[in-house]
């Protein structure tokens, strides 16, 4: 029996809107935002009169760009008919989003203010403050208009605060949408369902039954064409500060009393505040930095990070951390985080290892042979949930026990296309639902955890350890977990 939940915003209709995207000629818009909107048009979710207005700065907003978008939609998996159905919603305007007069002119092009208005800053974060001032100065943020900010939200706590301050001067928090696209991923949302729609796990979800947790976000891609952004930023700021800590939050939160945006976000902030700080010399024991060197990826030889960059660099492309949450529920349960580029496989998962049985009835020497239960929440690819259990090998001879896996895959459990994260997030903005967006205090608390690590790396000369592309990261990351008598869960990462 399917449960229809009228309170779930996905099921409420999307109102007619004007969505203005600044940075509309950029990689993010072409690869993610337009395809997401086109999928929503194809599903019939987007009202016919809704408009998507792309702002470009140096590009020609003419037919060439329209043709580029139409071609990119098909490269991203939409059919020709689906791409064509999206195009009438789209127009481009060449303008400077930071210029108040230009924004006043834009105001005249938009539909009546009774339509939902949303402004998406898919631009580098240096533009967030001037752009929001220009939009507000032109009256574009009046009424119920929403502002969407793409990550990264600054490069440290001070810059994040400055952006948040500038935005707060022109717009209330309830109309500010900070994107972390991991929150839009189906399996990330399913984490809340797994925990709070099933009693089975919740009763064991604490230090009483859980030994430790590993959160891995491994990528096979390298620098791609993002050197300007990535170098000097690195894996800790790019991935841990946002996506990985958000996964940690959803894994560890106390049950919110509803799915209301602030109820969920209040609980996430509590988790972030409970993170034991890592600073000074702690970084040498509780963190590992890495940078990939020449190796192979998907069977192809690939250059190292410094070769791709064309110069030596101290930026980490891999980070591993041992985190602890100082709460009753999580005391003594280490949470190991690991993320990197050019690793041996692309996957993201949360692996929860339960405690071993306290006593084996299968013979005094058998306890070591009983693998502890493990629950693996796989976010991508092959999204789903796996439970590793001990089983008896059938047969009447000697009693033999082996670990076996219950495997619940999304693609076999549901006969539906898994939408991309941005599909959900963009319509949530239009519907006015902030549950899957980061609140100001969340972002700042996460930076407050990350900043001292970066300071520790600087003060203790923690230069990145080298690891060959196509592997599990530097060997020192193995030491980080083995020191605690545990091991990383995925041998296939070693390439």
Ligand X SMILES: O=C1O[C@H](COP(=O)(O)O)[C@@H](O)[C@H](O)[C@H]1O
User: Which parts of this chain interact with ligand NDP (CB under 6 A)?
Assistant: 22-29, 56-59, 96-98, 122-125, 127, 150-152, 229
- DSSP state, 296? E
Site string for ligand X, 96-135 (x = CB under 6 A): ----------------------------------------
Select which of 39, 89, 212, 243 is catalytic: 243
- Considering only residues 136 to 155 of the shown chain, the ones binding ligand X according to CB under 6 A are 151
- Closer Cβ to ligand NDP, 103 or 493, answer by number: 103
Contact of residue 25 among ligand X, ligand NDP, none (CB under 5-8 Å per partner type): ligand NDP
Among 247, 453, 441, 448, residue whose Cα is nearest residue 335: 247
Question: End-to-end alpha-carbon separation of the chain, Å?
Answer: 42
When binding is defined by CB under 6 A, the residue of 186, 219, 316, 383 that contacts ligand X is 219
Bridge pairing between strands 347-354 and 210-218: antiparallel
Q: 240 with 320: CB under 8 angstroms?
A: no
- Closer Cβ to ligand NDP, 229 or 362, answer by number: 229
Contact of residue 219 among ligand X, ligand NDP, none (CB under 5-8 Å per partner type): ligand X
Contact of residue 59 among ligand NDP, ligand X, none (CB under 5-8 Å per partner type): ligand NDP
Among 28, 421, 441, residue whose Cα is nearest residue 188: 421
| Strand segments (E) across 183-235 | 210-218
Give the separation between CA 315 and CA 231, rounded to whole angstroms: 6
Among 264, 255, 127, residue whose Cα is nearest residue 203: 255
Catalytic residue at 359? no
When binding is defined by CB under 6 A, the residue of 238, 349, 423, 433 that contacts ligand X is 238
Give the separation between CA 349 and CA 19, rounded to whole angstroms: 33
As annotated, the binding site for NADP(+) includes 57, 96-97, 151
As annotated, the binding site includes 57, 96-97, 151, 181, 185, 219, 238, 341
Lookup result for tokens 């940690």:
248
Does position 316 interact with ligand X (CB under 6 A)? The reply is no
Cis amide prior to 67 (ω within 30 degrees): no
- Closer Cβ to ligand X, 211 or 231, answer by number: 231
As annotated, the binding site for substrate includes 181, 185, 219, 238, 341
Q: Which residues contact 283 (CB under 8 A, 6 or more apart)?
A: 453, 456, 457, 460, 462
Contact of residue 464 among ligand NDP, ligand X, none (CB under 5-8 Å per partner type): none
Active-site annotation, residues:
243
Which residues contact ligand X (rule: CB under 6 A)?
A: 151, 219, 221, 238
């Amino acid at each position: 029996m399917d449960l229809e939940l009228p309170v779930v915003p996905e099921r409420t209709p999307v109102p007619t809107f004007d969505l203005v995207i600044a940075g509309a000629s950029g990689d993010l818009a072409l690869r993610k935002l337009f395809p997401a909107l086109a999928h929503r048009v194809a599903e019939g979710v987007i009202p016919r009169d809704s408009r998507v207005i792309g702002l470009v700065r140096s590009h020609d907003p003419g037919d060439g760009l329209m043709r580029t978008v139409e071609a990119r939609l098909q490269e991203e998996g939409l059919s020709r008919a689906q791409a064509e159905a999206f195009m009438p919603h789209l127009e481009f305007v060449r303008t400077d989003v930071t210029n108040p007069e230009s924004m006043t002119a834009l105001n005249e092009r938009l539909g009546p203010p009774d339509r939902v208005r949303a402004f998406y800053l898919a631009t580098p974060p240096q533009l967030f403050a001037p752009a929001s001032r220009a939009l507000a100065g032109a009256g574009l943020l009046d009424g119920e208009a929403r502002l969407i900010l793409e990550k990264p939200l600054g490069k440290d706590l001070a810059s994040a605060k400055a952006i948040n301050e500038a935005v707060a001067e022109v717009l209330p928090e309830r109309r500010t949408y900070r994107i972390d696209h991991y929150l839009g991923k189906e399996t990330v949302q399913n984490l809340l369902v797994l925990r709070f729609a099933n009693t089975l796990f919740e009763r064991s979800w604490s230090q009483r039954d859980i030994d430790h947790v590993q959160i891995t976000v491994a990528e096979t891609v390298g620098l791609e064409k993002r050197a300007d952004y990535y170098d000097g930023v690195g894996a800790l700021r790019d991935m841990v500060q946002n996506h990985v800590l958000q996964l940690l939050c959803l894994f560890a939160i106390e049950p919110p009393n509803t799915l209301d945006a602030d109820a969920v976000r209040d609980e996430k902030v509590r988790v972030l505040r409970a993170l034991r700080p890592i600073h000074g010399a702690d970084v040498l024991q509780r963190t590992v930095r890495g940078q990939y060197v020449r190796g192979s990826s998907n069977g192809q030889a690939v250059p190292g990070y410094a070769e791709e960059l064309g110069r030596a660099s101290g930026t980490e492309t891999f980070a591993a951390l041992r985190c602890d949450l100082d709460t009753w529920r999580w005391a003594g349960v280490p949470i190991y985080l690991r993320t990197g580029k050019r690793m041996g496989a692309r996957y993201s998962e949360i692996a929860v290892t339960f405690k071993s049985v306290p006593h084996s009835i299968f013979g005094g020497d058998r306890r070591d042979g009983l693998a502890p239960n493990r629950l693996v929440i796989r976010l991508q690819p092959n999204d789903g949930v796996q439970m590793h259990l001990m089983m008896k090998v059938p047969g009447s001879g000697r009693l033999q026990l082996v670990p076996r896996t219950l495997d619940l895959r999304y693609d076999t459990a549901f006969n539906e296309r898994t939408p991309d994260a941005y599909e959900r997030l963009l319509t949530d903005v239009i519907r006015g639902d902030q549950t899957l967006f980061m609140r100001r205090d969340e972002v700042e608390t996460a930076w407050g955890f990350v900043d001292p690590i970066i300071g520790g790396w600087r003060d203790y000369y923690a230069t990145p350890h080298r690891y060959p592309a196509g592997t599990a990261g530097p060997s020192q990351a193995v030491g980080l977990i083995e020191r605690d008598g545990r091991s990383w869960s995925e041998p296939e990462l070693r390439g």
